[in-house]
Amino acid sequence: QVQLVESGGGLVQPGGSLRLSCTASGNSFSINTMGWYRQAPGKQRELVASITSGRSTNYAASVKGRFTISRDNANNTVYLQMNNLKPEDTAVYYCYLDRFPRNYWGQGTQVTVSS
């Protein structure tokens, strides 16, 4: 069975940084796209970033230039480096793994940006 475990969330001041990590277990996932969604209170789930097996990346316009997604295939881990954080980045962040026939999800980690 596939399991994704996230870490790295927390409370930071505006302009600060966090790095989220998500490690998948149960198989090797080097051929699979992985990424991050977030959901803020009162808002729908939003795709933040994704990365393919070839390390092609995609970002939401709201985070482009501030967030960087990367992966370490040897450890089945995907990262989200978040810099210059803004209050509107406050949300629960969920990592995902795109593996036939469905997506798999992490447990979620809270990111709060506040002074």
Query: What is the per-residue pLDDT across 2-58, written as a single tens digit (0 to 9) for each?
Result: 999 999 999 999 999 999 999 999 999 999 999 999 999 999 999 999 999 999 999
| Residue 94's pLDDT band (cuts 50, 70, 90) | very high
* Burial (0-12, 13-18, 19+ Cβ within 10 Å), 106: buried
d(CA 85, CA 68): 12
Extract the runs of DSSP E, i.e. beta strands, from 1-115. 3-7, 10-12, 18-25, 34-39, 46-51, 57-59, 67-72, 77-82, 91-99, 102-105, 109-113
d(CA 48, CA 69): 9
